Chain A
Amino acid sequence: MISSFNEMYHNGTVRPPYARLEDWTKAMPAELRQMKQAEAEALFRRIGITFAVYGEGGDPDRLIPFDMFPRVFTGAEWARLERGIKQRARALNAFLVDVYGRGEIVRAGRVPAQLVYRNEAYEKAVAGFVPPKGVYSHIVGVDLVRTGPDDFFVLEDNCRTPSGVSYMLENREIMMRMFPGLFRENRIEPVDSYPQLLRRTLASVAPVKCDTEPTVVLLTPGHFNSAYYEHSFLADLMGVELVEGQDLFVEGEFVWMRTTEGPRRVDVIYRRIDDAFIDPLCFRPDSMLGIPGLMDVYRSGGVSICSAPGAGVADDKAVYTHVPDMIRFYLGEEPILQNVPTWQCGNADDCAYVLANLGDLVVKEVHGSGGYGMLVGPGSTAGQIAGFAARIRANPGNYIAQPTLALSTVPTFVEDGVAPRHVDLRPYCLVGERIELVPGGLTRVALKDGSLVVNSSQGGGVKDTWVLAE
């Protein structure tokens, strides 16, 4: 296995942002640690933070494991990440406005036409429509990994409805409750303004026909959804109604919600359901989740939908490879954050290389997410690799491959003390009238020794993520 960058211990010394944490762990006896861990778990269970795992049929009230050892960034490290993330969020939105408009980037030959116009996520229904403030993706989740002190790579972009931000907020809340001393000793930037910023962002993209203080709602698929907790949590913190499709209807030029006092107009919908399900008249006719006629109101400026329908074309794993080019093309800047080198199996030369080197690569489905349907070459058996090779040959265009990155590690509490475990990072960038990024994000950690898969659906956990004030 490749050796990884340890974010706390580097070249035999403790890196400065972690300086105070060393004493903290050393001063914590095993019993206290177990007690604190149990306390944290009880708090999570009580608050009701659970995560249903698809395809396991298991406990719908399962908790995502929370690791108490925080992950720390210096102010300077964060400043650079922030610039890079905001730059990316701007470029992605510029790309979306462009491909639903004149398609300059395609005409210029920088992005292949079929990648855009024959993409499953390209919504012909919104071609020619520019959403308020020219924003398609209002919450951009940029998944980052680190391989060295100054080396960060973007693993993928999430332009639709990135989830997990409730963990960023709750992890912090619980750490502050359990270890107030740590927060006195370290100067940690707060993250709790996120819900207000999100609400302000959503309100800033109110539709043209809205002439009052906009009414914002959060649209959830319902309480059977695995992320329902997050939906209700965010709605609560923003002080907006949490609605399901059945609570909304279209009448005249507007969308209304059904209340005990009669219909009330809705101006901005922060939806946490996929495009395919939002309007059965426009997309999937069999969808029970959506609101018939919603898209007509949307296109005539009666309601805003966040993220805008069609935003998914920008976070496709094949389009991803072109993001650095987008940054140069639209912004005239050099990308601050690097992409991971990516082979497209749809391309014959790339595919041959991928098949020959499967043992060293990570292979993902182009439209996949959540760590499902992926292969981590170095951790797989010959049988698993052969099986995956057959799937790639059957449908090469559905796969991309990347080198197995030596993900950085952060100390993590394990059975017998503290040990390094691999992590990634998902910050949440808000795009409206302004671009905002709270100093923090969700750090996911692979709890199994040596594992590189951090997805909670695959046994990953979460950590509080600190940015130190300069």
Chain B
Amino acid sequence: MLSRTADNLYWIARYAERAETMARLLEVGSRIALLPSSGTGYRSEWDSLLQASGTASGFARKYGDPVQRNIESYLFFDRDNPSSVASCLLRARENARIVRTALTTQVWDAINTAFQELRSLERRPRSELELTQLTEWTMRHTAMLRGAIDATLLRNDGWDFLNLGYCLERADNTARLMDVKYYVLLPGIDYVGSGLDNYQWTTLLRAMSAHRAFHWAYGGEVTARKIAHFLILNPQCPRSLIACVDGLNTHLDRLARGYGRSTRAQTKARAVLAELTDGTVDGVFDEGMHEFLTRFIGEIAAVAALVHDGYLSGDVR
């Protein structure tokens, strides 16, 4: 397969997953904004969301103060914001158009329908659109794309590259979302274990569509330790770090078998998986959750760089 084709497939998945995460973040924001503000730390929860999604400076340049409606527009519709839902879906669709022939009609339909509907959403007055409508719309379409990929694509190397994109992006996003909650949102260390703390954790679970699942798996109080276990170490949770890294390994191994040669990405991904498999919640908290997540995000970026060098860059030898 052409390296560029593999690269396009990989980015379809990354952008689709990123669009979904952005929608989830918006949902976190809108729920947290329903709480009375703590008045310390960041100026508002919305501001911290912008910080967390790495879009704060771009927003400030364009709008100035963080006003909810503007933030919603910026994170959902704004094409000047490369991470907005609209920007991500457009790029996913553009990548798909380039490799149209490597996709099935169903996959193309799923992504193209999202694109066509987005264009009609963009034409409607903002006041008619509730935020929850928009976030649900996004999740529905990304789920349809995911479903079309799973149900109809040939299980060849292209399928592996799509899935590598999904796994890497999802691992990165889960880590970031947790870090937002843990490090950014809570105004101070005194609040750990407070009502606000628990409310934020619950909101995070909801945003990951994992609220019910969490209660099935753990029951009782929502605590940071349980959530850390669920989202980092529990392979049953589809968005947990360990589940994502496990997926990474599966697809890297498949590629290595198919091509008859191993890569450094594979070695690296194995090491990350081994660490998570042996990891404990105590270990994470001893290191410091923020420190752990920051390091993990770095590890995932390293795997992504190796995937790029080993398959996508076109300089493969």
Do A and B originate from a single complex? Answer: yes
Binding site for B on A (CB under 8 A): 46, 48, 223, 229, 232-233, 235-236, 241-244, 246-247, 257-263
Knowing A242-B101, A247-B314, say if A260 contacts B3 (CB, 8 Å): yes
Contact B100 A258, beta carbon cutoff 8 Å: no
Question: Which residue in B97, B101, B112, B259 is a CB contact (below 8 Å) of A260?
Answer: B259
Could you tell me the distance in whole angstroms from the C-beta of A5 to the nearest C-beta in chain B? 40
Is B287 close to A, CB under 8 A? Answer: no
Docked Cα-Cα span, A443 to B317, in Å, equals: 47
Residue in A closest to B314 when the chains form the complex, CB atoms: A258
Chain B residues numbered 286-317 whose CB sits less than 8 Å from any CB in chain A: 311-312, 314-317
Contact A259 B1, beta carbon cutoff 8 Å: yes
Contact A258 B3, beta carbon cutoff 8 Å: yes
Could you tell me the distance in whole angstroms from the C-beta of A290 to the nearest C-beta in chain B? 16
Contact A48 B112, beta carbon cutoff 8 Å: yes
Question: Which residue in A46, A48, A232, A259 is a CB contact (below 8 Å) of B316?
Answer: A259
Question: Which residue in A46, A235, A246, A247 is a CB contact (below 8 Å) of B109?
Answer: A46
Knowing A259-B316, A260-B316, A261-B259, say if A247 contacts B101 (CB, 8 Å): no
Chain B residues contacting A262 (CB-CB under 8 Å) are: 316-317
Residue in A closest to B6 when the chains form the complex, CB atoms: A260
* Number of inter-chain CB pairs below 8 Å: 58
Contact A247 B4, beta carbon cutoff 8 Å: yes
Contact B314 A246, beta carbon cutoff 8 Å: yes
Could you tell me the distance in whole angstroms from the C-beta of A334 to the nearest C-beta in chain B? 44
Chain B residues numbered 228-278 whose CB sits less than 8 Å from any CB in chain A: 255, 259
Docked Cα-Cα span, A235 to B102, in Å, equals: 11
Residue in B closest to A264 when the chains form the complex, CB atoms: B2
Is B105 close to A, CB under 8 A? Answer: yes
Contact B100 A232, beta carbon cutoff 8 Å: yes
Residue in B closest to A229 when the chains form the complex, CB atoms: B100
Contact A46 B312, beta carbon cutoff 8 Å: no
Range for the number of chain B residues in contact with chain A: 20 to 34
Docked Cα-Cα span, A246 to B7, in Å, equals: 13
Residue in B closest to A233 when the chains form the complex, CB atoms: B101
Residue in B closest to A239 when the chains form the complex, CB atoms: B101
Question: Which residue in A233, A243, A246, A263 is a CB contact (below 8 Å) of B317?
Answer: A263
Contact B97 A258, beta carbon cutoff 8 Å: no
Knowing A46-B109, A48-B108, A233-B101, say if A260 contacts B1 (CB, 8 Å): yes
Docked Cα-Cα span, A260 to B3, in Å, equals: 5
Question: Which residue in A46, A235, A242, A247 is a CB contact (below 8 Å) of B3?
Answer: A247
Is B78 close to A, CB under 8 A? Answer: no
Residue in B closest to A220 when the chains form the complex, CB atoms: B98
Chain B residues numbered 1-41 whose CB sits less than 8 Å from any CB in chain A: 1-6
Could you tell me the distance in whole angstroms from the C-beta of A44 to the nearest C-beta in chain B? 13
Is B157 close to A, CB under 8 A? Answer: yes
Docked Cα-Cα span, A223 to B311, in Å, equals: 22
Contact A261 B314, beta carbon cutoff 8 Å: no
Chain B residues numbered 94-123 whose CB sits less than 8 Å from any CB in chain A: 94, 97-98, 100-101, 105, 108-109, 112
Contact A48 B109, beta carbon cutoff 8 Å: no
Docked Cα-Cα span, A214 to B161, in Å, equals: 27
Docked Cα-Cα span, A426 to B1, in Å, equals: 34
Chain A residues contacting B311 (CB-CB under 8 Å) are: 260
Knowing A258-B315, A259-B316, A260-B316, say if A48 contacts B4 (CB, 8 Å): no
Knowing A243-B2, A247-B3, say if A260 contacts B157 (CB, 8 Å): yes
Q: Taking A244-B4, A260-B161 as given, write out 5 further A-B residue pairs in contact, using a Cβ cutoff of 8 Å, ordered by the A residue number.
A: A243-B2, A247-B3, A247-B4, A260-B6, A260-B255
> Can you report 7 A-B residue pairs in the complex whose CB atoms are below 8 A from each other?
A48-B112, A229-B100, A243-B2, A244-B4, A247-B4, A258-B314, A261-B1
Residue in A closest to B113 when the chains form the complex, CB atoms: A46
Could you tell me the distance in whole angstroms from the C-beta of B116 to the nearest C-beta in chain A? 9
Contact A247 B98, beta carbon cutoff 8 Å: no
Residue in B closest to A47 when the chains form the complex, CB atoms: B105
Docked Cα-Cα span, A323 to B66, in Å, equals: 70
Chain B residues contacting A261 (CB-CB under 8 Å) are: 1, 259, 316
Docked Cα-Cα span, A382 to B312, in Å, equals: 59
Chain A residues contacting B94 (CB-CB under 8 Å) are: 223
Could you tell me the distance in whole angstroms from the C-beta of A353 to the nearest C-beta in chain B? 49
Docked Cα-Cα span, A144 to B311, in Å, equals: 48
Could you tell me the distance in whole angstroms from the C-beta of B29 to the nearest C-beta in chain A? 33
Could you tell me the distance in whole angstroms from the C-beta of B280 to the nearest C-beta in chain A? 37
Could you tell me the distance in whole angstroms from the C-beta of A43 to the nearest C-beta in chain B? 11
Could you tell me the distance in whole angstroms from the C-beta of B310 to the nearest C-beta in chain A? 8
Knowing A223-B94, A246-B314, A262-B317, say if A257 contacts B2 (CB, 8 Å): yes
Question: Which residue in A223, A229, A233, A259 is a CB contact (below 8 Å) of B2?
Answer: A259
Could you tell me the distance in whole angstroms from the C-beta of B233 to the nearest C-beta in chain A? 32
Could you tell me the distance in whole angstroms from the C-beta of B253 to the nearest C-beta in chain A? 15
Contact A258 B101, beta carbon cutoff 8 Å: no
Knowing A257-B2, A259-B2, say if A223 contacts B157 (CB, 8 Å): no
Contact A48 B97, beta carbon cutoff 8 Å: yes
Residue in B closest to A234 when the chains form the complex, CB atoms: B101
Chain A residues contacting B112 (CB-CB under 8 Å) are: 46, 48
Could you tell me the distance in whole angstroms from the C-beta of A270 to the nearest C-beta in chain B? 15
Chain A residues contacting B5 (CB-CB under 8 Å) are: 241
Q: Which of A223, A244, A257 has its CB near the most chain B CB atoms (within 10 A)?
A: A223
Question: Which residue in B4, B109, B255 is a CB contact (below 8 Å) of A258?
Answer: B4
Docked Cα-Cα span, A223 to B101, in Å, equals: 13
Chain A residues contacting B1 (CB-CB under 8 Å) are: 259-261
Could you tell me the distance in whole angstroms from the C-beta of A294 to the nearest C-beta in chain B? 17
Docked Cα-Cα span, A235 to B97, in Å, equals: 14
Residue in B closest to A50 when the chains form the complex, CB atoms: B97
Docked Cα-Cα span, A262 to B310, in Å, equals: 9
Residue in A closest to B158 when the chains form the complex, CB atoms: A260
Residue in B closest to A237 when the chains form the complex, CB atoms: B101
Residue in B closest to A223 when the chains form the complex, CB atoms: B98
Question: Which residue in B3, B97, B105 is a CB contact (below 8 Å) of A223?
Answer: B97
Could you tell me the distance in whole angstroms from the C-beta of A438 to the nearest C-beta in chain B? 21
Knowing A48-B108, A259-B1, say if A232 contacts B6 (CB, 8 Å): no
Could you tell me the distance in whole angstroms from the C-beta of B252 to the nearest C-beta in chain A? 12
Chain A residues contacting B315 (CB-CB under 8 Å) are: 258
Docked Cα-Cα span, A247 to B2, in Å, equals: 7
Contact A260 B100, beta carbon cutoff 8 Å: no
Docked Cα-Cα span, A258 to B1, in Å, equals: 9
